[in-house]
Amino acid sequence: MAYDNLSTDELRGLHARMIDEYADVKARNLSLNMARGKPAADQLDLSTPLLSVITSPEDCFAEDGTDCRNYGVLKGLPEARRLMAPMLDDDPDNVLIGGNASLILMYDVITWGWEFGVNGSAPWRTYDSVKWICPVPGYDRHFSITEHFGIEMIPVPLGTDGPDMDEVERIVASDERVKGIWCVPKYSNPSGITYSDETVRRLASMPCAASDFRIMWDNAYAVHHLYDDAVEQDQLLDIGVACREAGNPDRYVKFASTSKVTLPGAGIAGIATSPTNAEDLTSHLRVCCINGDKMNQLRHVKFLRDAEGIAAHMSKHAAILRPKFELVDRKLTEGLVDVGGCTWTKPRGGYFVMFNAPEGTAKRIVALAKEAGVILTGAGSTWPYGNDPHDSDIRIAPSLPPLEELEQALDVFVCCVKLAYLEKLLGA
């Protein structure tokens, strides 16, 4: 029977039983981790051929004869730009290849806007305050970057179609200090939703008081479907096309990486943006570096080859990840049938499930789970400044543990949700 319909005595009895159950769980001395979107070992194994596609000097030459072992080629190998283009929904000419992480590129783009402005605009640091739109739930590492610069972060609700566009349009319309928005537009981190075409078009066309407003389009999960059938895959409208059509060709910077395609932190990352933006970014990039790691670029080209090669490879990831996401949904559905006030997402791609616990219980759930040996992403981390006003959002990252460990971790999680909710209902 639903908790909400139980009498106080019944709740007390249930609470006592849950305390025993929780004690049993703790006694298992588990050490499980559902905190970060890390691929599992068998996913990493899929990229084993990457390790040996280059073993001799003859393997080290690019299509145009460039010896990738030596200095040069600031923007990345032409074939690496071509490889990344479909992940960025763009033309290879608009692609710049960076280092081993798209996060660094995002940090750079904001640093340069902050310090030097954008295409000749006033440096953002010269304003009395700078503001940034942060759809919530969102990605904590995005928020860390804007927080680092003292940029005021404005949370806007993220629905199933993307951010609340009425709210976004209102905020950007009149305040030129609002300089950008963080977006994970496809299989969003953490809710797994994908922006609707209408959302993309409204972002591209909305009147902004700031002519240098920037959409930070972190398409981290562009090719990270859980299902092979195209009808079960989310489709995302290209923000670049939408911005050009709306007459705002420089409004966006797209980011992608192979971190969850090949090896996290040992892959390649790229940007796609307008030629004007690319020139502006390159003027800074050339001061701080001579080139990205072309050897690793070439490895990725030789291993993944092209869009078709990427899709085939991602299908193997999906075969490993899909059962984990399905297990999350099954265990939560079964375990929380009587517990009111819990919702969660069923994404068709990406790395996360967003769990909404009964208001005021998220921190307690995460603490209980930790005490029982299951590490979850910190409660609140999906909000700017770590401040979830409802204390409700918990990001579940099911990718890392093997299936049987994930099942154990979810049992613990369900137990902790129940216990925390009972504590709340009893005012304990």
* Per-residue mark of binding to its own copies, 7-36 (x: CB under 8 A): -----------------------------x
Told to check if 44 binds its own copies by CB under 8 A, we report yes
Sheet bearing 252-257, strands edge to edge: 95-97, 269-273, 252-257, 214-218, 178-183, 131-136, 152-159, 162-163
CB of 199 to its own copies, least distance (A): 28
Please identify, using beta-carbon distances, which residue of 111 and 205 lies nearer to its own copies: 111
Told to check if 1 binds its own copies by CB under 8 A, we report no
Please identify, using beta-carbon distances, which residue of 15 and 142 lies nearer to its own copies: 142
> CA 353 to CA 347: how far, in whole Å?
7
Q: What is the DSSP string of 72-99?
A: --TT--HHHHHHHGGGGTS-GGGEEE-S
Please identify, using beta-carbon distances, which residue of 50 and 425 lies nearer to its own copies: 50
Nearest 5°: CA angle at 184, between 167 and 134?
Answer: 40
CB of 97 to its own copies, least distance (A): 12
Q: Binding its own copies by CB under 8 A: which of 29, 31, 71, 231?
A: 71
Encoded tokens for 261: 């395609």
Encoded tokens for 116: 């030097």
Told to check if 304 binds its own copies by CB under 8 A, we report no
Question: What is residue 179's three-state secondary structure?
Answer: strand
Encoded tokens for 40: 């599992």
Told to check if 61 binds its own copies by CB under 8 A, we report no
Q: Which stretch, 40-48, 80-88, 232-240, 371-379, contacts its own copies (CB under 8 A)?
A: 40-48
Residue with tokens 């390159």: 282
**Within 13 Å and on the Cβ side, how many CA atoms surround 227?**
13
> CA 180 to CA 172: how far, in whole Å?
9
Please identify, using beta-carbon distances, which residue of 144 and 408 lies nearer to its own copies: 144
Residues 81-110 that bind its own copies (CB under 8 A): 99-101, 103-104, 107-108
Please identify, using beta-carbon distances, which residue of 73 and 372 lies nearer to its own copies: 73
Q: What is the DSSP string of 397-410?
A: --SSS-HHHHHHHH
Residues 112-141 that bind its own copies (CB under 8 A): 114-115, 125, 141
CB of 45 to its own copies, least distance (A): 6
> CA 423 to CA 12: how far, in whole Å?
9
Total length of the chain: 428
Please identify, using beta-carbon distances, which residue of 95 and 109 lies nearer to its own copies: 109
Q: Which stretch, 2-10, 171-179, 199-207, 294-302, contacts its own copies (CB under 8 A)?
A: 294-302
CB of 129 to its own copies, least distance (A): 16
CB of 5 to its own copies, least distance (A): 44
Q: Which stretch, 68-76, 206-214, 225-233, 245-253, contacts its own copies (CB under 8 A)?
A: 68-76
Residue 1, number of CB atoms within 10 A of its CB: 9
Please identify, using beta-carbon distances, which residue of 108 and 391 lies nearer to its own copies: 108
Minimal CA–CA distance to 168: which of 153, 157, 177? 157
Residues 148-177 that bind its own copies (CB under 8 A): 148-149
Told to check if 145 binds its own copies by CB under 8 A, we report yes
CA gyration radius, the chain: 23
Told to check if 266 binds its own copies by CB under 8 A, we report yes
- CA-to-CA dists, residue 188 to 62, 106, 167, 220, angstroms: 35, 17, 19, 8
Give the residues lining the site for its own copies (CB under 8 A).
Answer: 36, 38-39, 41, 44-45, 47-48, 51-52, 54-57, 59-60, 67-72, 99-101, 103-104, 107-108, 111, 114-115, 125, 141, 144-145, 148-149, 259, 263-266, 284, 287-296
